Amino acid sequence: MDAKKTTESAKAPSAWAPLARPAFAVLWTATIVSNIGTWMHDVGAGWLMTDLSPSPLVVAAVQAATTLPVFLFALPAGALADIVDRRKLLLIVNAILGVVAGILAFLVSFGMVTPTLLLLITFIMGTGAAFMAPAWQAVVPQLVPRQELTAAIALNSMGINVSRAIGPALAGFLIVAYGLATPFFINALSVVGIIAALLWWRQPRIAESQLPPEQVGSAIVAGLRYALNSRPVAWTLIRALGFFIFASAFWALIPLIVRNVLKGGPTLYGILLGCLGAGAVAGAVALPKLKARFGPDITVAAGSIGTATVLAILSFTDNPILAAIACGLAGVSWIAVLSSLQVSAQTALPNWVRARGLSIFLTVFFGAMSGGSLIWGKVATLVGIPTTLLVAAAGALLMIPLTWRAKLNQGETLDLTPSMHWPQPLVSDEATHDRGPVMIQVTYEIAEKDRANFITLMNELSAARRRGGGYGWTLMQDAADPSRFVETWCEVSWLYHLRHHERVTGADHAVQDRILALHRGSDPPVVTHLIRA
């Protein structure tokens, strides 16, 4: 190990450091309890469907019904979480989910559930999860300092997997001992703890904009525009898509692997998922130091190789012990990839678009998981489970070199806090919020020796203009005076342009300072705002 890596490893916060923050510790603990109920529900739903319909496609549809709502609704959910009070949103959605879980428990206890009804209720609960996920992830940076963000995200993933280690095994035992309705009743009760924790927590105050709140539709567009013009975000999404579409084969087919390949029952199913959770917990403990030593790209590649190995093992073994070992490796691999990708997404987003950006990540994540689940279920119906797992393993390995150029954590060194360095524009009383579109022009004078560097920097700045809400960006050179350049871009309305003023980051400011250093005019560049008459 070289000196640099040794220093980085020494500086890595403890995996447990965020638990010293009371708000994080309380919400984390309550979430574990709630997630135990969720995993018990998932095990119960998956096993119930194998009783109601043994078709691989129908069983895989349970996984799809869980993940598809996030793919469909994550974008409006993220926009909503950036507009409204995130704490209140989480309280309302959790309360609704508790009621729906209770209804399902009663329906199961009276034998009134059909495959269609189970898929419908699973879809409704997945929709609730879709509206919670961006808000939950967006509040993490409010609970811990930036240097503990990796550890906090790993602990959140660990919490899910602690729940995964307890919930499935407990569900398998309770299904055998007390019947299929028991996991659903416990899931309904588990929501109480998370509601109590949210009522206790007081969200820290954030400087509020003096501008009117965004509408959901325009907020979604702004989030998409930011993601499309942010290389750190785009590269994270590419890596996520390349992994999850193949890793979904494990999650979609594990109930059928237990029943048809391993010839086991709900107890073995719960044990295997418990091994997976235990592996994820072990991986989460080691993850901060491993990432500090090897970096996120190697960590994700190693997790992809581990996942491919698991799929290959499960394709040929009928030994429950070997399958349990494979599930432990699956947990380590899953936490390595998921946590690394989540940190990469978090560090690439400023606060104003954080929930929206994370919702785009979740859309890719769950879209790949739900689409992959349906694909692998169909393939398994046609060619069998072992062949399907081998195909998925080969795909996971192939994605490593194909996506290697998309580097992770590119936003970690960027200053994404608002710079607020743009001066307030001089306008007349007629420049009301609803007028638009707006055209902004900036005129520069650049010496011949600096023009190549200037154009390179301006192309970098163009992405920042688009991230903040601009479109139609151009850079024109005066035919009569080659030293004169005019930058032009448009925004939807005067209100959108004022929001752009609030969203310029420290990283954008640094690029603009480098450009201004090349400007040779006696006065600063002339900025003109034009509004459609």
CATH code (residue 515): 3.30.70.100
The band of 4, judged by pLDDT with boundaries at 50, 70 and 90, is very low
State which of 357, 377, 402 marks the end of a domain: 402
> What would the mean pLDDT of 234-252 be, rounded to a whole number?
93
Q: Who has greater pLDDT, 265 or 230?
A: 230
The pLDDT assigned to 13 comes to 67
Judgement on whether residues 383 and 444 belong to the same structural domain of the protein: no
Q: Contact, 254 vs 315, CB < 8 A?
A: no
DSSP at 408: S
Q: Indicate the range of 92-96, 223-227, 228-232, 266-270 predicted with least confidence.
A: 266-270
The pLDDT assigned to 404 comes to 94
Judgement on whether residues 506 and 392 belong to the same structural domain of the protein: no
Percent of the chain that is helix, strand, coil (3-state, to 5): 75, 5, 20
Instruction: Give tens-digit pLDDT for 503-517.
Output: 899 999 999 999 999
Q: Contact, 306 vs 333, CB < 8 A?
A: yes
Mean pLDDT, the chain, integer: 85
Burial of 331 (0-12, 13-18, 19+ CB in 10 A): buried
Provide the domain limits for residue 50: 17-202+214-402
Q: Please state, in angstroms and as integers, the Cα–Cα distance from residue 393 to each residue in 243, 373, 386, 488, following that order.
A: 10, 14, 11, 49
Judgement on whether residues 195 and 49 belong to the same structural domain of the protein: yes
The band of 52, judged by pLDDT with boundaries at 50, 70 and 90, is confident
Judgement on whether residues 358 and 506 belong to the same structural domain of the protein: no
The pLDDT assigned to 9 comes to 43
Residue 116: inside a domain: yes
Residue 10: inside a domain: no
The band of 389, judged by pLDDT with boundaries at 50, 70 and 90, is very high
d(CA 118, CA 113): 6
Percentage with pLDDT > 90 across the chain: 31
For every residue of 119-137, DSSP letters joined together read HHHHHHHHHHHHHHHHHHH
Judgement on whether residues 323 and 175 belong to the same structural domain of the protein: yes
CA-closest candidate to residue 326, choices 387, 254, 260, 384: 254
Residue 2: inside a domain: no
pTM of the model: 0.78
Residue 21: inside a domain: yes
Judgement on whether residues 340 and 465 belong to the same structural domain of the protein: no
How many independent structural domains does the chain possess? 2
The pLDDT assigned to 38 comes to 82
Position 109: which residue type? S
The pLDDT assigned to 3 comes to 44
Instruction: Give tens-digit pLDDT for 95-142.
Output: 999 899 888 888 888 888 888 888 888 888 888 888 888 888 888 888
Q: Indicate the range of 296-305, 410-419, 456-465, 496-505 predicted with least confidence.
A: 410-419
Instruction: Give tens-digit pLDDT for 150-180.
Output: 778 778 877 776 776 677 778 878 887 887 8
- Determine if residue 280 is left, alpha or beta; phi over 0 gives left, psi from -120 to 50 gives alpha, anything else beta: alpha
> What would the mean pLDDT of 286-295 be, rounded to a whole number?
81
Q: Who has greater pLDDT, 402 or 370?
A: 402
